[in-house]
Amino acid sequence: MPLTRKKALELRSLAQKKARDERGLFVAEGFRLVKDAAESAFEIPEVFFTPEFESTPAGSTLAGALRARGARCERVSAREFAGFADTMHAQGILALVLKKPASAGDLMDRVPLPALLVALDGIADPGNLGTVIRTCDWFAAGGILLGRSSVDVYNPKVVRATMGGIFHVPVATGIDLPAAAARARQQGYKVYVADPSADLFETDLHFTERSLLAFGNEAHGISPELARVADARVAIRRFGSAESLNVGVACGIFLAAHRRCFP
């Protein structure tokens, strides 16, 4: 049965934050992301795929796995799929995934020792946020506290950039970071702020058993309110002449330093 105009409009609307918030859904598009979603604890109400996708061995296997976990699967033509796909070279499969909210308190309370949480203050670029989530997944960080002024974690560009990490790393969104950092300190966390002007370097730092590591906006850095709550400001030692590092790269360097303390 052809896709109704109403359903096509609903699918296209999920490119907008307002629609994602109202419906509590986000989009995972492409084989890798949908497969990661299918293997996660996230609920998948609906899936759309083309006959061409399902005709491949990998596509047929994934479609069967999605049906087995209760997703409503609908075949659509390649032309219909192109009408709501967000990627330039669509692979022919898209899943609607139910958001799985986390809270800052839950993350602080439940992360096993050695506990590492990452706080993101005003991250504006979707690719940067997705890369940070992917990096946290690589180093098995306990979770992310996403500040109120950051880009939406369910933005399709963010979801793609996570390379599946969004299904593995819990993210608490809309967080008042200064308040959350103050609470973390009360619970025994030490709060570290990444600051290029600091005199303490990541190579000299021994992280504590409960650590909260904060990164700021790409252009303006950490807010003064969050900086005032920090226990320590930490820089990455520079050897060349570059003015700054991408926040995803900086996050990876700090998380690698943390893992050296707790291999």
Q: What is the mean pLDDT of residues 14-21?
A: 96
**For position 221, what pLDDT does the model report?**
85
**Helix, coil or strand: residue 149:** coil
Q: What is the mean pLDDT of residues 231-240?
A: 94
Least confident of 6-10, 88-92, 150-154, 174-178: 88-92
Question: How confident is the model over 101-157, as pLDDT tens digits?
Answer: 899 999 999 999 999 999 999 999 999 999 999 999 999 999 999 999 899 999 999
Same domain, 80 and 116: no
Q: Which residues contact 157 (CB under 8 A, 6 or more apart)?
A: 126, 127, 130
pTM of the model: 0.94
Kindly report the average pLDDT of the chain as a whole number.
94
Q: Which of 45, 68, 98 is the last residue of a domain?
A: 98
Please give the Cα distance from 64 to 93 (Å, whole number): 13
Same domain, 194 and 220: yes
Q: Which residues contact 197 (CB under 8 A, 6 or more apart)?
A: 233, 235
Question: How confident is the model over 24-49, as pLDDT tens digits?
Answer: 999 999 999 999 999 999 999 999 99
Same domain, 81 and 121: no
Task: Measure Cα distances from 79 to 37, 50, 59, 121, 241 in Å.
Answer: 25, 9, 18, 40, 50
Same domain, 141 and 252: yes
User: Of the candidates 170, 157, 134, 146, which has an alpha carbon nearest to the alpha carbon of residue 26?
Assistant: 157
Q: Using omega within 30 degrees of 0 as the cis cutoff, is the peptide bond preceding 114 cis?
A: yes
**For position 1, what pLDDT does the model report?**
60
Same domain, 110 and 70: no
Total tally of structural domains belonging to the chain: 2
Question: How confident is the model over 80-106, as pLDDT tens digits?
Answer: 998 888 877 789 999 999 999 899 999
Same domain, 126 and 184: yes
CATH number of the domain at 134, please.
3.40.1280.10
Q: Are strands 25-29 and 93-98 parallel, antiparallel or unpaired?
A: antiparallel
CATH number of the domain at 94, please.
3.30.1330.30
Q: What is the mean pLDDT of residues 54-67?
A: 96
pLDDT-based confidence at 219, cuts 50/70/90?
confident
Same domain, 141 and 256: yes
Q: What is the mean pLDDT of residues 210-226?
A: 91
Residue 8 scores a pLDDT above 90: no
Same domain, 72 and 133: no
Token pair 């969104």 is at which residue?
A: 173
Same domain, 112 and 237: yes
Q: What is the mean pLDDT of residues 193-213?
A: 93
**For position 5, what pLDDT does the model report?**
83
Q: Which of 72, 98, 124 is the last residue of a domain?
A: 98
Same domain, 191 and 225: yes
Question: How confident is the model over 205-217, as pLDDT tens digits?
Answer: 899 999 999 999 8
Q: Which residues contact 178 (CB under 8 A, 6 or more apart)?
A: 223, 225, 226, 228, 229
Same domain, 19 and 84: yes
Same domain, 86 and 145: no
Q: Which of 31, 64, 98 is the last residue of a domain?
A: 98
- Give the whole-number percent of the chain exceeding pLDDT 90: 84
**For position 74, what pLDDT does the model report?**
93
Tokens of 187: 């619970």
Per the structure, the complete domain to which residue 16 belongs is given by 5-98
